[in-house]
Amino acid sequence: MADTVIVRPQELEQLIQQKLAAAGLTDQQAKIVAEHLVFADASGIHSHGAVRVDYYAERIAKGGMNTQPEITFEETGPSSGIVHGQNGPGQVVVLEATKYAIAMAKKSGIAAVGVSQTSHSGALSYYVKKAAQEDLIALSMCQSDSMVVPFGGKENYFGTNPIAFAAPRKDGEPVVFDMATTVQAWGKILDARSKNKEIPDTWAVDADGHPTTNPHHVHGLLPISGPKGFGLMMMVDILSGMLLGLPFGKHVSSMYQDLTKGRDLGQFILLIDPQRFTDLDNFKASVDTMVQELHETPPADGFEQVYYPGEINQLHYDKYMTEGIPIEKNIYAYLQSDTIHFNQYSRADAFAQTGSGK
């Protein structure tokens, strides 16, 4: 923690909002994105928190994020629809899509909503938690640019293609689970680069497709559990890309190659009203019972307790929102500065080293 500072959530949100507004977002858009990034950092998902501000600011300033989108909802059936985001700020577009999906699920019992043409939308746990707080079961997934070698291959095809799930509880915050479909998130490798530490040889491969322990030699990530993660990546791209008539796999736009153009990304949201299947109170009580029984499970050697998947993030959130959020000193200095962005993200290779700044 020596290279971090503890920042009050309100201060962090204000600094992020000011920086994004200076880059070109409206005050309301900047506030929504800032709230989302603070949620990510408070949840311990630092790869999707304040570290993203410089990148967002550069893309906004260069015109690759539409600051005046006309976000529309096309209802395609009683339980289905498409939100057209016009490459607006991802957090703004997907939050709006989540609101449409919540209203539809409460009316019809289920909602399948596609999000077409959005920017990077951040941590998916933010959206599914919103739905679970409305007593709905939520599943969300999104595509990303090609960074992962397929099982048995050595050239990148799919993205990290994350999946998030949430369910309401009777007592306590919703159960929320958010994961990339790779062995380890790209942010973890960036962290290893910054500290010049080796990584396990199960995380990634080099330019020749060979496992590497050097984070600076990474040219492709590996799918979680081999063919199983590979299958999940394919599922995500089909539901959030092909289903909406969007680019898929290696055709998905690069996060870094051209920051002057919109990314045309896709996302898929599925919400279920448990009351259409069972008694709501009993369902929520069952989720509580599951959590309690997991906590009561004897821990294996080296572990203090069994947690439900995603619980550590909730524990981080509870702590950091009260005590303050740890932020890298150089990121905090950037947020406090007059610099809008460091002009370091326009590059063809997603795995290339960044320049100065962060």
Centre a 10 Å sphere on the Cβ of residue 304 and count the other Cβ atoms it contains.
6
Phi, psi of 46 (to 5 degrees): -65, -20
Residue 10 burial (10 A CB sphere; 0-12, 13-18, 19+)? exposed
Assess whether 251 carries a catalytic annotation. Answer: no
Name the token pair of 238.
Answer: 């089909």
Contact 150, 297 (CB under 8 A): no
Buried b (16+ CB within 10 A) or exposed e, 46-65: bbbbbbbbbbbbbbbbbebb
Centre a 10 Å sphere on the Cβ of residue 77 and count the other Cβ atoms it contains.
9
286 SS3 class = helix
- Amino acid letter, residue 357: G
Query: Which entry of 36, 46, 84, 120 is annotated as an active-site residue?
Result: 120
Q: Cite the active site residues.
A: 120
